[in-house]
Structure 1
Amino acid sequence: MGKPRLILHIGVHKTGTTALQDILEQNRETLSRQAMWYARTDRPPFPEHAKHGSLFRAALRGGEDLLSETRILSEEFRQSGCTTLVLSEEGFSEPRFSKFAALADFLAAFEVKIYCNIRRQDYLIESLWNQHCKFRDESRGIEDFAFDPEILNRSRFKPLLDFWSSFGEIVVRDYDQVKLSGAARTFGETFAVVLPETMQKKNLSPSANCALVLAELNRLGLQELKPKVIRAFRNDTRKHALGGLLRQRLLNYFQVDNAAVAKTYGVTFETTLPSEGPEPIRHLETTAVVQAMARMSELK
């Protein structure tokens, strides 16, 4: 009898990970009837999220923490009676490879398949900036954020895919194509499992104008105002923040890495550029401010 199968979904961030995790969580029994087990996600540090943050944290800590966590997962999987274990945590798309290498002993017990959605870096970085302004204390404008060495490093996909492919077969998808088919359908077709699709979008990014306000609130230490500001700007339609010049600069920066990804992993990003002005967003658009102020007055 061969090894059981492990499907490890590693993200990346802002590629529909929350939506897919919620689908997998909500359909644990549906999956189990098809011999797949989506491991429980109700352990710290984020038991309210439908992802395996407990394994991610244990991998970062290593040692006894990692050994204990993997024992829990292995026993839970054994009791499920399934032949495929499914785990999902977008933190594994971060370039902390020296830490993640400690998972080797756990992964060796399985026939490993790594599932990874990637996204063209200009769109990814815009979305990350929005996310960090919304949920973290990011106070920089998009230009400074985009060319932070840490952000650039985590947006290079070739090292990420090379690392994880050392543990087993890796399946790479272009997020723009996944969006067209749907997260559940793409996952199901990839791994021969039936999942119901949901049209509900998760973890939506604020508009570019809203993100600019959120960054300023973070700088001023007024984070308590962010929920109301997000509601006030919810009808704002400005999607992009980079501007044409900065966007092209980013695409040029990643050109070599993306060519290597296309050659090795078969994913080639489309080249169409969005309609926008040449400069990044640095000041709020007047119309957006007026509309937000009007809505703000209606909010309690």
Structure 2
Amino acid sequence: MPRRIILHAGFHKTGTSTIQSVLRENRVALKKHVALRLRWHMKDLVAATRGYSTWRDPLTLIKVQDRFTRLMDDLPGMPRRTLVISAEELSGHLPGRGELADYSAAPILLYAFWEIARARYPEAEILIYLSTRAPGPWLESAWAEHVKASNMTLPFEDFAARYHGAANLDAMVAEIASRVPVPVHHRALESCLDLPLGPADPLLDLCDLPAALRAGLVPVAPANTRLKPEILQAMLEANRTQDTAEARNAAKAQLLKDAR
């Protein structure tokens, strides 16, 4: 069984893609000490967590619990290793989609994960790690992600006014810590800029890696960075003017191609 389980549950737009890229790039070096389950290992689970954060219905929560249980049951033997489960969607959808105004589903989801992990591995230490970001930059990045990946039509100023409550990530960290009976660690993206592995370093600190191994881990370029303002503005216009999802996606794909 693992000696420690780290649930890295976001938040979105806080360097999570870079963290996962660092873990994936160094997976061979880490293998003797760390077992990884990253977002692409659990597509069915994150589909359910996104659904629960949107609908908050008991049936979808049961689906979340069932899929996390299957994730636990399908794990190989991990004697004395640290298990890192990392996906920003473990906290639900990125706020800003319609009525989804915040991360208030996250404490419920994380309690469910803790309860299942404790039952499966009662002697393992369980930790939660949350990456955060200052409210202003988080709102800018969240808006940009919605413009790029959804049919967002709000200008940034209106988006920020409507969803400003979601940007108080420190308050949500405190809420999770008050409702899930495990240590909750967190670190702001801004404080990681000069670290050798960027935002992945605070998470790796929790893995207790040998110093020689840690020193040999390789960094990666920041992942999923924000597009230039003029491209975002063009995508926003496509969201406003194209009548179908197919047309919007095609227009935005062409903008990305031209930008490259």
For the 8 Å contact 2:9–2:90, the answer to whether it is kept is: yes
Aligned residue pairs: how many?
A: 223
For the 8 Å contact 1:38–1:86, the answer to whether it is kept is: yes
TM-score, scaled to structure 1: 0.65
Matched, 1:136 2:150: yes
Ranges in structure 2 where 5+ consecutive residues have no aligned partner: 54-59, 92-102
| 1:53 positional shift | 2.5
Provide, for residues 35-93 of structure 1, a one-character-per-residue CA deviation record: whole Å limited to 9, x for no partner: x2112643434xxxxxx736735976222x33432333323445233432111121244
| 1:8 positional shift | 1.0
Provide, for residues 86-110 of structure 1, a one-character-per-residue CA deviation record: whole Å limited to 9, x for no partner: 1112124432146414334214344
Residues 103-118 of structure 1: matches in 2 within 5 Å? 103-108=113-118, 109=122, 110-118=124-132
Provide, for residues 254-294 of structure 1, a one-character-per-residue CA deviation record: whole Å limited to 9, x for no partner: xxxxxxxxxxxxxxxxxxxxxxxxxxxxxxxxxxxxxxxxx
Ranges in structure 1 where 5+ consecutive residues have no aligned partner: 46-51, 235-300
TM-score, scaled to structure 2: 0.74
The corresponding residue for 2:139 is: 125
Q: 1:187 aligns with which of 190, 197, 203?
A: 203
Residues 1-300 of structure 1: matches in 2 within 5 Å? 4-34=3-33, 36-39=34-37, 41-45=40-44, 53=46, 56=49, 61-63=60-62, 65-93=63-91, 94-97=103-106, 99-100=108-109, 101-108=111-118, 109=122, 110-148=124-162, 151-165=163-177, 166-181=180-195, 182-193=198-209, 194=214, 196-221=217-242, 222-223=247-248, 224-233=250-259
Q: Distance in 2 between matches of 1:90 and 1:138?
A: 20
Q: One-letter code of the match for 1:174?
A: A
**Identity over aligned residues, as a percent?**
21
Do the aligned partners of residues 116 and 205 (structure 1) sit closer, same or farther apart at CA in structure 2, a change above 3 Å counting?
same
Q: Distance in 2 between matches of 1:123 and 1:21?
A: 21
Q: Distance in 1 between matches of 2:116 and 2:257?
A: 44
Instruction: Please tell me whether Structure 1 or Structure 2 has the larger radius of gyration of its CA atoms.
Output: 1
Larger RCO (CA within 8 A; separation ≥ 6): 2
Q: One-letter code of the match for 1:106?
A: I
